[in-house]
Amino acid sequence: MEEIITDEHIQNIINNKILNRITSIEYVVSEKCQNNCKYCYRVKKHNKSSCVYVTADDIDLYTENLLDIFKLDKSFCQTVTAELFGGDALLDYQECKKIIDLLYYKYKYNRIIIPTNGRLINELSILDIKDLLYDEKNNKLKASLSLSVDGEINDGQRPLSKFGKMLQYQEDINYDKLIKLSQDFKMGFHPMFSFDNYDSWFPTFKFFFDKGIKPYLLEVRHPLDRNDIFKCIEQLVMIRKYLLNKFGSYDEIKQYNTINPSIIPRGLGCSALTTLTIMPNGDIPFCHRLIDKPWVMGNVLKKEFKIPNAINLISGYHHANHPMCIKCIVRESCGGLCVGANYEYWGDPWTPIPSICDYIITKSYIMSQIFEDWNKTLKAKDTDIKILREQSENIFNNNKKYYNQCNSLDDYISLLKEKEEQ
């Protein structure tokens, strides 16, 4: 029997449908955290896990095996970013330093990024931080940090966990120190906007912005009371207005993701489809949130990789092809929901959470009526504004608990237009 499909064909499929899309390798190095954040999906998993921190030797083995599975050499690492993820990725200073050095000196990753809750560096000396992140010899940073802190007004939603208390961390964050460090070590900030705490969105943004920081804004897209939708949008309008007053140009506000329409060519607005995540047990799941067995594509310790699953998940998934999204009026300007949140809600990762869809639809319409750039984007995507308005009106009329003085959605929009930023 002639061999029509060869090993080369299969390797081409792996290259074209899996590897060509991967821009990051994410190592989950810890399943413990100093914090017990109210909206954090990982707390439950952390409480069950016994993994405090993986070792640099583990990371070395994971990386060797990963390259082996795909028949790649170390030069692959130079084309991608390495990310360390937790729990808190900086939980174990000594081991983290070894891992950074391993990834930086041995594998020569293009970049190393570490998101952290900032607890460790809040209490470290400058010299220790420098030792961790800086390559003295070549005078450059080995790794950059992205700080997940929500600002003083929100510290209550990010209290210390028992684990954090056990390690003798202090409850208060020294923001002056973090901000100074961020300038010295090129750190970014990504405060989280929780629907449970919508009143703090604008003050949180202002807190960072007024200190010279351009934060990366992230909505925590968990189900919400539809009445709260309009409170949340009010906060976003205030942020936009504040920025427009500062800069006078729409171009300057494009970098703030939550206050802009999400235009993606295909897939998801997050990095799940371009990142290969490696869990402490060696599993390679869809993303660090969707980690149960059906969504695991392989395991680096067992040197297993399920090509069909990986092709489907990495290359095949497009949220806008789900029937609930196909019929959606803002299909072309929505980055999709968090599949991990969908999974917690339905038990199925691919079905969107309806109340968040209503939030996105309403936000799109209201923003398009107040801000010209948003309106242009929707029109460029052939969005039927009439239907979008109809749907938004329905949502408003059924859920205007906080805006009873408004007879219509138009009244509410007028109210927002008139509102001055504080």
- The residues in 14-53 that bind other proteins, with binding defined as CB under 8 A, are 15-17, 19-23, 38-41, 43-44
**Antiparallel, parallel or unpaired: β 283-285 and 296-299:** antiparallel
- By CB under 8 A, is residue 306 in contact with other proteins? yes
Nearer to other proteins, 3 or 210 (CB): 3
Span from 24-32, 128-136, 236-244, 309-317 in contact with other proteins (CB under 8 A): 309-317
**Among 68, 131, 384, 410, which residue interacts with other proteins (rule: CB under 8 A)?**
384
Nearer to other proteins, 146 or 351 (CB): 351
Span from 5-13, 112-120, 155-163, 203-211 in contact with other proteins (CB under 8 A): 5-13
- By CB under 8 A, is residue 402 in contact with other proteins? no
Return the amino acid letter for 220: V
**Among 344, 373, 393, 411, which residue interacts with other proteins (rule: CB under 8 A)?**
344
Of residues 221 through 260, those in contact with other proteins by CB under 8 A are 221-226
Least separation in angstroms between residue 280's CB and other proteins is 17
Q: Are 50 and 178 in contact (CB under 8 A)?
A: no
Q: Which run of H or E residues covers position 9?
A: helix 7-17
DSSP 224-268: --HHHHHHHHHHHHHHHHHHHHHH--GGGGTT-GGGS----SSS-
Residue in this structure with the two tokens 């990386």, named with its chain if needed: 63
102: buried, middle or exposed (CB in 10 Å: 19+, 13-18, 0-12)? middle
Residue 177: alpha-carbon gap to chain centroid: 24
Interface mask toward other proteins for 317-336; x: CB under 8 A? xxxxxxxx-xxxx-x-----
DSSP alpha helices (H): ranges in 24-152?
43-48, 56-69, 93-101, 119-123, 126-133
Residue in this structure with the two tokens 């990834």, named with its chain if needed: 103
- By CB under 8 A, is residue 3 in contact with other proteins? yes
Helix (H, G, I), strand (E, B) or coil at 378: helix
Least separation in angstroms between residue 266's CB and other proteins is 5
Least separation in angstroms between residue 53's CB and other proteins is 23
Least separation in angstroms between residue 71's CB and other proteins is 11
Nearer to other proteins, 252 or 384 (CB): 384
Interface mask toward other proteins for 154-183; x: CB under 8 A? ------------------------------
Q: Which of 269, 258, 267, 261 is nearest to 195 (CA)?
A: 258
End-to-end Cα distance, the chain: 76
Nearer to other proteins, 131 or 354 (CB): 354
